Amino acid sequence: MDSTMKRSSRKQRGSILPVVLAMSVGVGALSAGYSMRHLREQQRSDAYRYRGEALYEALGQLELTAYMINTSGYSETGQNLALARALERDDSQFVDPDGWPTGVTAIETSEDSGFYELVSESTVRDYTRAVSALVRERQSFADFNYFVSEHPLGISGGESGVFPYPDAPEGSIHSNDRIDFYFPDRHFRDPVTAVNGFGYLAGANGPEHVDGTNTFFHGATNNAAGRVEGLTNVDIGGMGGRADALLNLDGQWDYANVKLKRDEMWVEHRERSHWEDQEVTTETDVFVDEARTRMVPETALVNEPITVVVDEWSQVDVWVKEYENIYETRQRWVEDIDIFYKTVQETRTRTVTKQRWIEGGGGADTGGAGGSGAVGYWESYRVTETYTVDVQVEDYRVDNSRWEDYQKKVGRREIGGHWEKKWRVTGQHTEFEDNFVERATGNMVEEAYTESVFSHTDVTTSIQRVYVRDHRVAAHDLPTDGTVYVRGDIRFYPMRTSRRDPYDTHVLDGSVTFASGDDILLYDSIVYGKNDADGNLQTAYLNGGDRTKDYKPNADYEGRSVLGLIAYDDIEYRRNLPDQTEINATMMAKTGHVRVYRTGVRANGDAYTRGRGFVKMSLRRLGGLISNQRPISAYIDENNAVTHGFVFAKSIFDRRQLTTPPRGFPTINRPRVLALVLKEVN
């Protein structure tokens, strides 16, 4: 039988596989995503890991290379041997003592600059990190905060024990003799070295002390270091031949006065008084005598008597009176007391002024009667104390006083007289006196005479010893960008404000070195300064003239001034300096020392004075001090009083001079590794 029911014509298809496949693809994509994410995490982690490893590997190799350079010797021409050998290689790379390349290369920053960049690269997997450091092949003497060649140096450190030890002395400290450290619990940040050992005074202890050390060094130290030579070899005269020499005064009598006026300076070239042989040209007029005659009026002597008045004297009788004195008897009281004494002890009180030592921070140039070398100041304070004394007091007395008669003159009376003969003027009369005068007779007569007549001029040349007084030779206005050499003294003139010259202190905006074949004398403060955009003078450091405030860098100072002072003999602080003096300069005394007027140092390093000096309240210095003999900024006598120099002192090392030392400052066979820079190569 046929079915009449119709079935749906829609044909149904069924298969889950496409769906499953689609889901599988989705799951696969998710899995891939997870895997990629993990891969990225892994890559990031690898980058973190390998960059870190590369960085510390590069740092480590740079450290080892710096050690090679620091311990290397120098050639006769002053080249660091390790640097020289690396530069000889084509790749300029350092090779360690075991013959393996370090990955550190040397690049000279500019020709003959003496500065090199050490670049240390390390690659771990595909990640490279580089570290570089700036190296100066030869250290300048300006790197020293204190350098004393022939005497012990006394110094006290900073009190802060926390890095970076902000009040510790900065810059290297070295003595070719001994260094004495003062006061306990002091810190030193930078290298401290001495040839003849370290001493510990005024509470400071060294490592050998039974209680252990209380003097802490955070840089390299060596109490048996090698001598640092070179100071006495400084060729001061050669400064005049430098390419940047602005003035070369090499005459035997030359000296100079200097005024610093920001970006220019006035240098007065003078010669001091002296005897000298001079060629003298003399012109002498020569005259000859000629016999001549002339007609003159004839004269004769004629008597013309004159009248005079004459006194007449004779003896006459004169009555002379006679007197006698009149006396009266009177009485007077005569005191006559004998006092007898005995000795007793009496207790008294008195208030006296004493002095106690207050440390002034980071300084080391004090001389004293006790031979101490600390910087700081003595503070007065009053204290009341009792004492006993033997006193003479009255025991008893015997009174012998009485009334006594005496004769007193009360007048005189006339008692008679007598006649005496005496000379008296009794009259006058006139007389005639001869008076011969020369009168003309009216006739003319011939007279012979001799007249000097000019003949010719003789020119003679001779050598004569001539005294030349102190005088100005010339005045120079120069830029503050070079060196000045003077064979004699260089005097930094006392500055006085005037309408024409508004400077009341030396101000330097530039880079200058002054070299003297004798002494450098400081009569006024010297500061680094530069005008800001508003025309106001900004000094490098603030409060140099006010010791009650912190001596600190000025954030508004944008200059880069550097002043070097090199003296063959001494650099001297003079009486005219302000009561609160500031000196911004690095000073070097080749054979003498940096000292206060009228002080000196004996062969054993003890300070002494020569006559009356001056006392000022404060000295603040920015810059190093290099001295052959012991420097003196204050002399303290047996009563702990400052008799010469500065009561308070503060010195700060100018760290800019590590990379920019003063022009012409001598260098020594020591390298210095400076700034460290990290960079990522890839």
Which residues 88-127 are close enough to bind other proteins by CB under 8 A?
A: 89, 93-101
Core vs surface per residue 607-640: b (16+ CB within 10 A) or e: bebeeebbebebbbbbbbbbbbbbbbbbbbeeeb
Rule CB under 8 A: is residue 49 a binding residue for other proteins?
Answer: yes
Q: Residue 537 is encoded by which pair of tokens?
A: 């003078």
Rule CB under 8 A: is residue 659 a binding residue for other proteins?
Answer: no
Rule CB under 8 A: is residue 552 a binding residue for other proteins?
Answer: no
Of 652, 627, 654, 167, residue with least CA distance to 367:
627
Q: Which CB sits closer to other proteins, 487 or 672?
A: 672
Q: Which CB sits closer to other proteins, 162 or 415?
A: 162
CA 361 vs CA 374, 376, 431, 502, 641: distances in Å: 10, 7, 103, 34, 19
Interface with other proteins (CB under 8 A), residue from 107, 220, 326, 453: 220
Q: Which stretch binds other proteins (CB under 8 A): 36-44, 258-266, 277-285, 416-424?
A: 36-44
Q: Which CB sits closer to other proteins, 227 or 356?
A: 227
Closest separation between CB of residue 1 and other proteins, Å? 15
Rule CB under 8 A: is residue 222 a binding residue for other proteins?
Answer: yes
Give the other-Cβ count within 10 Å of 491's Cβ. Answer: 22
Interface with other proteins (CB under 8 A), residue from 6, 76, 212, 535: 212
Helix (H), strand (E), coil (C) string for 546-614: CCCCCCEECCCCCCCCEEEEEECCCEEECCCCCCEEEEECEEEECCCCEEECCEEECCCCCEEECCCCC
Query: What does the longest C-alpha to C-alpha distance in the chain come to?
Result: 225
Antiparallel, parallel or unpaired: β 594-596 and 571-573: parallel
Q: Do 645 and 609 meet the contact criterion of CB atoms below 8 Å apart?
A: no
Closest separation between CB of residue 129 and other proteins, Å? 12
Interface with other proteins (CB under 8 A), residue from 3, 4, 12, 386: 12
Rule CB under 8 A: is residue 228 a binding residue for other proteins?
Answer: yes
- Near other proteins in 123-182, by CB under 8 A: 139, 161, 163, 172, 174
Interface with other proteins (CB under 8 A), residue from 1, 2, 3, 17: 17
Distance, in Å, from the CA atom of 172 to the CA atom of 671, rounded to the nearest integer, reads 13
Q: Do 409 and 325 meet the contact criterion of CB atoms below 8 Å apart?
A: yes
Rule CB under 8 A: is residue 48 a binding residue for other proteins?
Answer: yes
Interface with other proteins (CB under 8 A), residue from 117, 201, 216, 253: 216
Interface with other proteins (CB under 8 A), residue from 3, 4, 15, 351: 15
CA 484 vs CA 188, 515, 594, 663: distances in Å: 36, 6, 20, 10
Q: Which stretch binds other proteins (CB under 8 A): 217-225, 246-254, 344-352, 493-501?
A: 217-225
Q: Residue 422 is encoded by which pair of tokens?
A: 């005496």
**Tokens 């298809």 belong to which residue?**
13
Q: Which stretch binds other proteins (CB under 8 A): 86-94, 377-385, 389-397, 448-456?
A: 86-94
Q: Which CB sits closer to other proteins, 221 or 538?
A: 221
Q: Do 334 and 406 meet the contact criterion of CB atoms below 8 Å apart?
A: no
Distance, in Å, from the CA atom of 285 to the CA atom of 563, rounded to the nearest integer, reads 58
CA 427 vs CA 309, 313, 430: distances in Å: 11, 7, 11
Closest separation between CB of residue 221 and other proteins, Å? 7
Q: Which stretch binds other proteins (CB under 8 A): 83-91, 254-262, 263-271, 542-550?
A: 83-91
Q: Which stretch binds other proteins (CB under 8 A): 214-222, 326-334, 572-580, 587-595?
A: 214-222
Rule CB under 8 A: is residue 674 a binding residue for other proteins?
Answer: no
Q: Which CB sits closer to other proteins, 228 or 540?
A: 228
Q: How far is CA 237 from the centre of its chain?
A: 21
Q: Residue 23 is encoded by which pair of tokens?
A: 């889901």
Q: Which stretch binds other proteins (CB under 8 A): 20-28, 355-363, 411-419, 559-567?
A: 20-28
Interface with other proteins (CB under 8 A), residue from 5, 77, 207, 443: 207
Residues 6+ apart with CB under 8 A from 297: 440, 441, 442, 443, 444, 445
Quote helix, strand, coil % in the chain, to nearest 5.
Answer: 10, 55, 35
Rule CB under 8 A: is residue 24 a binding residue for other proteins?
Answer: yes
Rule CB under 8 A: is residue 218 a binding residue for other proteins?
Answer: yes
Rule CB under 8 A: is residue 591 a binding residue for other proteins?
Answer: no
Q: Which CB sits closer to other proteins, 270 or 672?
A: 672
Closest separation between CB of residue 31 and other proteins, Å? 4
